[in-house]
Chain A
Amino acid sequence: MSSKGGVGKTVVSVLLALALREKGYRTGLLDLDFTNPSTHIVLGINPSMYQPLEDKGIIPPEVHGIRYMSISVYSGDKPTPLRGEAVDEVFREVLAITRWGELEYLVIDTPPGLGDEHLNLLTYMGDRVEALLVSTSSILALESVKKLIYLLFEGGYSVIGLVENMCREKKLEGICRNTGVEYLGCIPYDTGIEEGIGSVDRLKSTKAWKHVLSIADRIAGV
């Protein structure tokens, strides 16, 4: 989660899901960004070609070994403007009909902001969700993540830790010490990521990938 946009939540979410799968965990990836889903772009798939199977609900398709669900499999990657009420309906629908089966990890990519998707997630799944915070080292992102930590702690939600993304120098360890949030690691700024968008093989050959593998180990308690 991050209330600030542009910090790399989507790329981190996809890489983390791939890393957990590579470590042998049964992993799912849910794109909760209903108005602007983009995990499929990082994965390099045409969502229309990955229709879920129907069986007393829907069975998410497998993408690179990950069980994957995104509104884009139905919206066909078209613009999908939604007001809050419609976001609530989509949230309920997706959660109600998707049959994930046995998973060890479900990575949920959230949109930026602190709006309907986040409130739905915390209100309806808060007892089963552990928030992974993603931030860059920028002062603007830092101020946003402070507010997010405050909000999550105030509501008694679980925070698994913070990832400092696109970092050239670690700057967020202090905030972690001050708040008691675990610093899960830093993913260095890597131009290979932009070039790797759309190709899992290329993404896995970046420097950032090795850091994500370490973060996956820390999350899994290895």
Chain B
Amino acid sequence: MVHEWALAEAIVEYIAKESVEKGTSAIKKLVIKLGLLQGVERDILDFALRELLKSKGLSIDSIEYVDEAVVLKCRRCSYEWRLPLQEIDSAVREAMHFIPEVVYSYFSCPNCGSRDYSIVRGRGVSIERIEWEK
């Protein structure tokens, strides 16, 4: 039972509110964007989402997950780069799993050394789209 449950709870809470606004409890398709910086375990998130949706009385046909690579851009020299997640120490990846912004603790711009960069893409989990049954 891990952090994915907390993320799933936040997603389901949002969906439950929207369900009231839409006047339906049946979801055709849910598309979730998985920013790879957070290193979310897809299977656990999927299990948690389905269990929590069920507990809220919401039905769902399918959940699609879209991976998003981590792209960082330096504010000082404008260099843009991808974070090579597979080469990163597991303890650091674990830390970024909980608080993605600790990326600033461990990495600087490979071009100029600055830590003043932005996470352009791939930070965390977000809802890309909800398709409701009509």
By a beta-carbon cutoff of 8 Å, the part of chain A in contact with chain B is 34, 52, 54-58, 71, 74-76, 78-83, 86, 89-90, 93-94, 96-97
A73 shortest CB reach to chain B, Å: 8
A71 shortest CB reach to chain B, Å: 6
- In angstroms, Cα B2 to Cα A49, docked, is 19
- B102 in contact (CB, < 8 A): yes
B118 shortest CB reach to chain A, Å: 8
By a beta-carbon cutoff of 8 Å, the part of chain B in contact with chain A is 1-3, 5-6, 9-10, 95-96, 98-102, 104-106, 115-116, 123
**Cβ–Cβ contact B115 & A83, under 8 A:** no
Q: Which residues of B contact A54 (CB under 8 A)?
A: 1-3
Closest residue to B106 on the A side, CB-wise?
A: A78
B51 shortest CB reach to chain A, Å: 11
**Cβ–Cβ contact B105 & A76, under 8 A:** yes
Picked from A76, A89, A96, A97, the residue with its CB within 8 Å of the CB of B95 is: A76
A52 shortest CB reach to chain B, Å: 8
Q: B-side binding surface: helix, strand, loop or mixed?
A: helix
Tally of A-B Cβ pairs under 8 angstroms: 63
Picked from B98, B100, B106, the residue with its CB within 8 Å of the CB of A58 is: B98
B96 shortest CB reach to chain A, Å: 8
- In angstroms, Cα B6 to Cα A58, docked, is 9
Closest residue to A73 on the B side, CB-wise?
A: B95
A83 and B116 contact, Cβ closer than 8 Å, known pairs A54-B3, A76-B95, A97-B3: yes
- In angstroms, Cα B114 to Cα A79, docked, is 12
- In angstroms, Cα B101 to Cα A93, docked, is 10
Q: Which residues of A contact B99 (CB under 8 A)?
A: 71, 74-75, 90, 93-94
Picked from A75, A83, A96, A97, the residue with its CB within 8 Å of the CB of B102 is: A75
- In angstroms, Cα B100 to Cα A89, docked, is 9
B112 shortest CB reach to chain A, Å: 14
